[in-house]
Amino acid sequence: MKEIRIRENDANQRLDKFLQKTFPALTKGMMYKAIRSKKIKVNRKRAEFSQILNTDDVILLFLPDDVLIKKEKKITFNNRIKVVYEDDNILVVDKPAGLLSQSAAEGQDCLVDRIRSYLYQKKEYDPKAEHSFAPCICNRLDRNTSGLVIAAKNAYAAREINEAIREHHVHKFYHAKVEGHLRSDMDVTLYMKKADTKALVSLEPQEGYVKAQMRVHPFRREGDSTWIKVELITGRFHQIRAGMAFLGYPLAGDGKYGSLRRENMKLDAYRIVIDPIEMELEQNEFMK
């Protein structure tokens, strides 16, 4: 029998979601069968799959030890990050171009691992003391996009920031260098669909496509290119890259979307503004 006491970072999530994150060897089928047969209990009472866990709840698991092995959380000890803002709940960091936001394979260098290493060395994160939570990022940037990323130090911050993003209370602004001379501001509405590693774009609504909106402001010419500021109204996959290419202004150096120039793509998330939310912030606007 194994006993787990729910800590603050584990609370406010479903029992089944917590168990899946904590014990990767515990299959869904085995977990649901164990809950139905009372081999998994909460506070010594019959449990429900979807019940929300509270701080200090006690989970009892009458299951074999080999399915109750916790997922190992490794620390990379690479804390090279540029911190733009930090408080008790969040970090805002400046991701360099070329660095993955999250690893796609074991051992790959990425921003998330660097943030966890940074917080571990500050003694603000101990993977051995956590059941299911690890510091995480709330917005992602493509590998070749640089700029500001919000990271949550605790589960409360992750919930609040992710909810703010879903409710469009987080506003993101980018600089980009595009081919051609863009002469005037544009309010852009397109429809986009992710297809493998590219985004498909349409002027009209289509099945499977979602609305993509952004505001574009040209502010400087550089030879036969234009530097633009972009405010994302929605946050779609490759929205700026695919959208600007569709409009005839691909990002210079972005071969995936039609640029033939041999230069590094310039796309940088330079500003984030968060509307007033429940979580207190010392400031709500972040700039590079």
Q: Which residues form the catalytic set? A: 142
Q: Dihedrals φ, ψ of 85, to 5°?
A: -155, 145
Range 217-220 contact pairs with CB under 8 angstroms and sequence separation of 24 or more: 217/185, 218/182, 218/183, 218/184, 218/185
CA angle 148, 9, 283 (to 5 degrees): 35
Contacts of 283 (CB under 8 A, 6+ apart): 85
Tokens of 15: 């029992």
- Picking from 164, 234, 230, the residue whose alpha carbon sits closest to that of residue 192 is 234
Q: Evaluate whether 188 touches 247 at the Cβ level (below 8 Å).
A: yes
Q: How far apart are CA 65 and CA 42, in angstroms?
A: 18
Q: Which two tokens stand for residue 205?
A: 């609504």
Report strand pairing: 225-232 vs 210-222.
Answer: antiparallel
* Beta carbons within 8 Å of 132's beta carbon, 6+ residues apart: 9, 10, 13, 18, 21, 22
